[in-house]
Amino acid sequence: MPETNVHGTAIVIGTQGLIFVGPSGSGKSTLAFACLAAARRMGLFSALVADDQVMISVRGGQVLARPPATIAGMIELRGSGIVTMETLAPAVLHHAVLPVDLAEAERLPPDAQDLELTPEAILPLIRLSATAPDPLAMLGAFIPFNGKASS
Protein backbone atom coordinates (compact mmCIF):
# COMPACT_ATOMS: atom_id res chain seq x y z
CA MET A 1 0.00 0.00 0.00
CA PRO A 2 1.62 3.30 -1.06
CA GLU A 3 2.21 5.93 1.61
CA THR A 4 2.47 9.71 1.35
CA ASN A 5 4.38 11.84 3.85
CA VAL A 6 2.09 14.70 4.96
CA HIS A 7 3.21 17.66 7.06
CA GLY A 8 0.97 17.62 10.13
CA THR A 9 0.28 16.20 13.59
CA ALA A 10 -1.98 13.17 14.03
CA ILE A 11 -3.63 12.14 17.30
CA VAL A 12 -6.41 9.89 18.56
CA ILE A 13 -8.96 11.11 21.13
CA GLY A 14 -11.40 8.43 22.28
CA THR A 15 -12.38 6.73 19.03
CA GLN A 16 -11.64 9.70 16.73
CA GLY A 17 -8.47 10.10 14.69
CA LEU A 18 -7.51 13.70 13.90
CA ILE A 19 -4.80 15.20 11.74
CA PHE A 20 -3.86 18.84 12.32
CA VAL A 21 -2.61 20.41 9.10
CA GLY A 22 -1.25 23.78 8.06
CA PRO A 23 1.98 25.64 7.51
CA SER A 24 4.92 25.44 9.86
CA GLY A 25 4.33 27.56 12.96
CA SER A 26 0.52 27.58 12.59
CA GLY A 27 -0.05 25.82 15.92
CA LYS A 28 -0.64 22.21 14.86
CA SER A 29 1.48 20.55 17.53
CA THR A 30 0.42 22.94 20.29
CA LEU A 31 -3.30 22.42 19.61
CA ALA A 32 -2.87 18.66 19.30
CA PHE A 33 -0.94 18.51 22.58
CA ALA A 34 -3.59 20.64 24.33
CA CYS A 35 -6.29 18.24 23.08
CA LEU A 36 -4.33 15.21 24.30
CA ALA A 37 -3.85 16.77 27.75
CA ALA A 38 -7.52 17.80 28.02
CA ALA A 39 -8.68 14.33 26.97
CA ARG A 40 -6.55 12.70 29.65
CA ARG A 41 -7.96 15.05 32.30
CA MET A 42 -11.46 13.99 31.17
CA GLY A 43 -10.60 10.29 31.36
CA LEU A 44 -10.75 9.80 27.59
CA PHE A 45 -8.26 7.62 25.78
CA SER A 46 -5.72 9.76 23.94
CA ALA A 47 -2.50 9.08 22.09
CA LEU A 48 -0.11 10.74 19.70
CA VAL A 49 0.16 9.11 16.29
CA ALA A 50 2.80 11.33 14.65
CA ASP A 51 4.12 14.88 14.79
CA ASP A 52 5.59 16.89 11.91
CA GLN A 53 5.62 14.00 9.45
CA VAL A 54 2.61 11.71 9.10
CA MET A 55 2.70 8.74 6.77
CA ILE A 56 -0.74 8.50 5.15
CA SER A 57 -2.21 5.49 3.33
CA VAL A 58 -5.67 4.21 2.47
CA ARG A 59 -6.77 0.65 3.15
CA GLY A 60 -10.32 -0.65 2.86
CA GLY A 61 -11.61 2.89 2.41
CA GLN A 62 -10.06 4.06 5.69
CA VAL A 63 -7.39 6.75 5.94
CA LEU A 64 -4.51 5.40 8.04
CA ALA A 65 -1.71 7.34 9.71
CA ARG A 66 1.58 6.30 11.23
CA PRO A 67 4.84 8.04 12.14
CA PRO A 68 8.17 7.54 10.41
CA ALA A 69 10.19 5.25 12.71
CA THR A 70 12.82 7.94 13.38
CA ILE A 71 10.33 10.27 15.12
CA ALA A 72 7.82 7.83 16.60
CA GLY A 73 6.58 8.92 20.03
CA MET A 74 8.00 12.45 19.81
CA ILE A 75 6.19 15.79 19.62
CA GLU A 76 7.71 19.25 19.43
CA LEU A 77 6.36 21.83 21.83
CA ARG A 78 7.56 24.98 20.08
CA GLY A 79 9.80 27.06 22.28
CA SER A 80 10.00 24.30 24.92
CA GLY A 81 11.56 21.34 23.14
CA ILE A 82 10.75 17.79 22.09
CA VAL A 83 8.94 15.45 24.48
CA THR A 84 7.98 11.79 24.26
CA MET A 85 4.41 10.57 24.54
CA GLU A 86 2.32 7.42 24.42
CA THR A 87 1.66 6.57 20.78
CA LEU A 88 -0.78 4.56 18.73
CA ALA A 89 0.05 3.50 15.20
CA PRO A 90 -1.29 2.86 12.77
CA ALA A 91 -4.45 4.82 13.49
CA VAL A 92 -7.58 5.52 11.47
CA LEU A 93 -8.12 9.22 10.76
CA HIS A 94 -11.64 10.67 10.73
CA HIS A 95 -11.18 14.46 10.51
CA ALA A 96 -8.64 17.06 9.44
CA VAL A 97 -8.21 20.14 11.65
CA LEU A 98 -6.88 23.41 10.28
CA PRO A 99 -5.60 25.96 12.83
CA VAL A 100 -6.72 29.45 11.79
CA ASP A 101 -5.81 32.98 12.82
CA LEU A 102 -9.12 34.57 13.83
CA ALA A 103 -7.97 37.99 12.64
CA GLU A 104 -7.67 36.61 9.10
CA ALA A 105 -10.25 33.80 9.07
CA GLU A 106 -13.71 33.91 7.57
CA ARG A 107 -16.30 34.44 10.28
CA LEU A 108 -18.36 31.50 9.01
CA PRO A 109 -16.40 29.09 6.82
CA PRO A 110 -18.16 27.08 4.12
CA ASP A 111 -20.22 24.11 5.34
CA ALA A 112 -19.09 20.53 4.77
CA GLN A 113 -15.58 21.22 3.54
CA ASP A 114 -13.19 18.34 2.88
CA LEU A 115 -9.41 18.27 2.81
CA GLU A 116 -7.54 16.15 0.30
CA LEU A 117 -4.43 14.72 1.97
CA THR A 118 -3.83 12.55 -1.11
CA PRO A 119 -6.14 11.87 -4.06
CA GLU A 120 -7.45 8.80 -2.18
CA ALA A 121 -7.32 10.24 1.37
CA ILE A 122 -10.03 12.87 1.80
CA LEU A 123 -11.30 13.89 5.24
CA PRO A 124 -13.94 16.31 6.55
CA LEU A 125 -12.25 19.59 7.54
CA ILE A 126 -12.77 21.48 10.79
CA ARG A 127 -11.31 24.95 11.24
CA LEU A 128 -10.11 25.73 14.77
CA SER A 129 -8.76 28.91 16.29
CA ALA A 130 -5.01 28.53 16.75
CA THR A 131 -5.40 30.33 20.09
CA ALA A 132 -8.49 28.48 21.34
CA PRO A 133 -8.38 28.38 25.16
CA ASP A 134 -9.95 24.89 25.16
CA PRO A 135 -9.46 23.34 21.71
CA LEU A 136 -10.88 19.95 22.71
CA ALA A 137 -14.14 21.56 23.85
CA MET A 138 -14.41 23.41 20.56
CA LEU A 139 -13.73 20.23 18.57
CA GLY A 140 -16.29 18.43 20.74
CA ALA A 141 -18.96 20.71 19.32
CA PHE A 142 -18.36 19.00 15.96
CA ILE A 143 -17.11 15.51 16.89
CA PRO A 144 -18.42 12.98 19.42
CA PHE A 145 -15.46 11.87 21.54
CA ASN A 146 -16.18 8.40 22.94
CA GLY A 147 -13.83 5.96 24.58
CA LYS A 148 -12.74 6.13 28.18
CA ALA A 149 -9.12 5.47 29.02
CA SER A 150 -8.41 1.99 30.34
CA SER A 151 -7.31 1.75 33.96
- pLDDT surpassing 70 at residue 55: yes
- The pTM of the full predicted model, rounded to 2 decimals, is 0.92
Please report, for the chain, the start and end positions of each structural domain, with discontinuous segments joined by +: 4-140
Contact criterion met (CB below 8 Å) for 89 and 100: no
Assign domain 4-140 to its CATH superfamily. P-loop containing nucleotide triphosphate hydrolases (3.40.50.300)
Averaged pLDDT for residues 53-67: 97
Please write the tens of the pLDDT for every residue from 13-44.
999 999 999 988 888 999 999 999 999 999 99
